[in-house]
Amino acid sequence: MFTKLLKEPFQYERIPLSKVKRDKKNRPKNMWKTIKRIWSYLTREKGKLTLVISMVLISSALSLLGPFMVGMAIDDFIVQQNVNGLGTLLLLLVGVYLMHSVSVFLQNYWMIGIAQNAVYKMRDELFRQFHQLPISFFDKRKHGELMSRVTNDIDNVNITLNQSVIQIFASVLTLIGTVGVMLYLSPLLTVITMTIIPVMFICMRWITKRTGPLFKLQQNRLGEVNGFVEEMVSGHHVIKTFSQEERVNTDFREKNDQLQLSGFWSMVFSGYIPKVMNMLNFLSFGLIALFGGILAFNGYITVGVIVIFTEYARQFTRPLNELSNQFNVLLSAVAGAERVFHIMDETQEEADEKDAKTLDHIQGRLEFKDVSFAYEKELTLQNINFTAQPGETIAFVGHTGAGKSTIINLVSRFYNYTGGEILLDGIPLKQIKRNDLRSHMAFVLQDPFLFHGTIRENIRYGDLKATDEEIIKAAKNANAHDFIMELPKGYDTILNTDGTGISQGQRQLITIARAFLAKPSLLVLDEATSNIDTITEMKIQQGLKKLMNGRTSLVIAHRLNTIQEADQIIMLENGKIIERGNHDALVEQQGKYNQLYQNQLKRLMP
């Protein structure tokens, strides 16, 4: 493995090591803009930030004062053999270092609070943004990769704000103060000491040009691994069913190798920094000893000044070392923050029109007039026309990709139609507030989704203000009450996210109870009885029949025996309506619907 890391650091990315510095796509694209945006979160607590800056100023001044006092002790007291004065100065020196420790503690204490609040607000804003983005955004992205933005990327920002911001600021102040005092003591020796700066700059530039892209690459690879793991854990049943464990392990190993390789080389290059700085430290000490000794022999400076310069040279290279190290941490944090801000800057769901209406009650008359829609460029729906009267059931049938789910997405305004008009009780759908529209709708989908929590909480999701009595009534209407009461803790039985512990049919009954509680005027059913045993299907059908009574219902059907009582059946093909009518009328037409119906009958026959 180590040989592979050395010989093929970018075998998956196909990027030669010599060309890493030219790979601009993996660098933060707007580094200073991103840093400025992170800083805006810190400045929301100006009072605490002012205290932190004050403590940094004090600690930096005290760190410069200490070595200066040591030099004074040598020249004014040790050389002069003044014991009394030396004792007093030593006591003052102890006080200086104690005050320095206290100021460092306070600045760290206050900065941690500021950083935690900033990250809290950032994470909160990102989570809120998730709920303001259109459905199309989530349809195009892996959920695990999005989760990585909330966890890993923001954690990187958190570490940087807690540790790096103060160090960077303190290092800059220490550098400025150190150079100022050194120039005051001996301009010539200062110039000699500063000769290491060009060498340091060249080394740091060579290293950071490579670590920047590598840290960005590492964050991207980490997001891909998280997304892959989330997807595989969600689909583990399918993986085991088709015995694809070995292929999945191979795919994961490849992605894990990519993450390992990018992480290995980012650490290797960033690890050069302290080694280079130590070498330059030794070079600096050697220059001070050589030229400082010459100047001292000729009476230009004192021994105390040489001692001060030696300590200041260490203080000078230490902030540079810290800046170099923190720069790499900063690059990683900026790369993560850029990914977070990219989500925050995504176009939110289209705002409601200014004159959008709020509906206290709807009758449920739904009308499509020449409606067309395209997800990308190619039309998914073309000139769709139909009318659903209040209380009617409209069923949509057709092969996969015919446009059934798209119609539902348009009615719920998950997507906005691009042509024609959809009217609800005579009001254009775009003139109704989204939240208000959806508050009058309920969905019972093919794959029921339950949240982690009790059955009571999952049903109450349909109406958070519902009482326990209303929850029980909804469960009875959905034919779910009996099986719930047979569970050890009844309505207080805790379910996992995937509903582990109860059957698919029982999960579906709970979602029907949730829909009952919502008291919708518009009901959407997406093959709610698929993959259910016969007895449970009968219970679900009974519950759905009660639920649909008096409500305008839109049903996506794959099994035609479940929609024979629909008021209107619409047959779709390639985004167009090719047949419509009730079941008997469509069978008599001997068209596509009848062919589909007869084929399903043959499958059911022994």
Q: Where are the domains of the chain?
A: 34-344, 366-604
| Segment among 24-28, 46-50, 358-362, 534-538 with least mean pLDDT | 24-28
Residue in 96, 38, 103 with CA at minimum distance from that of residue 68: 96
At residue 562 the predicted structure's pLDDT band, cuts being 50, 70 and 90, is confident
Q: Cα–Cα distance between 99 and 152 in angstroms, integer?
A: 37
- H-run or E-run covering 140: none
By CB neighbour count within 10 A (0-12 exposed, 13-18 middle, 19+ buried), where does 230 fall?
Answer: middle
Length of the chain: 606
pLDDT tens-digit readout, 278-306? 677 677 777 777 777 777 777 777 777 77
Rg (CA), the chain: 35
**Maximum Cα–Cα distance for the chain, whole Å?**
120
Say yes or no to pLDDT of 532 above 70: no
Percent of residues, the chain, with pLDDT higher than 90? 6
pLDDT at 102 over 90: yes
Burial grade of 7 (CB within 10 A; 0-12, 13-18, 19 or more): exposed
Give yes or no for a contact between 110 and 51, defined as CB atoms under 8 angstroms apart: yes
The class of domain 34-344 in CATH terms is mainly alpha
CA distance 124 to 290: 58
Closest by Cα among 214, 592, 106, 471 to 114: 106
Whole-prediction pTM: 0.64
Q: Are 107 and 59 in contact (CB under 8 A)?
A: yes
For residues 269 and 210, is the Cβ–Cβ distance under 8 A?
Answer: yes
* Residue 447 confidence (pLDDT) above 50: yes
CA angle 547, 552, 553 (to 5 degrees): 65
Question: Which are the contacts of 26, defined by CB distance < 8 A and separation ≥ 6?
Answer: 212, 213, 214, 216, 217, 220
C-beta of residue 520 within 8 angstroms of C-beta of residue 442: yes
- Encode pLDDT of 56-80 as tens digits: 899 888 888 877 777 777 766 676 6
Dist. CA 212–CA 515, nearest whole Å:
51
- Give the residue among 278, 295, 276, 277 at the shortest CA–CA distance from 192: 295
Half-sphere CA count of 367, side-chain side, radius 13 A: 11
Q: With 90 as the cut, is the pLDDT of residue 21 above it?
A: no
- Any idea what the Cα angle at residue 472 is, between residues 469 and 478, rounded to 5°? 145
Report, as an integer, the average pLDDT of 187-194.
77
Whether 51 has a pLDDT exceeding 70, the answer reads: yes
If DSSP codes are grouped into helix, strand and coil, which group holds residue 17?
Answer: helix
Alpha carbon 345 to chain centroid, angstroms: 13
Q: Classify residue 198 by burial, with Cβ atoms within 10 Å: 0-12, 13-18, 19+.
A: exposed
Distance of alpha carbon 342 from alpha carbon 125, whole angstroms: 12
pLDDT at 265 over 80: no
- Please say whether the dihedral angle defined by the alpha carbons of residues 7, 13, 19 and 25, taken in this order, is positive or negative: negative
Classify 12 as helix, strand or coil. Answer: coil
Q: Domain 366-604: which topology?
A: Rossmann fold (3.40.50)
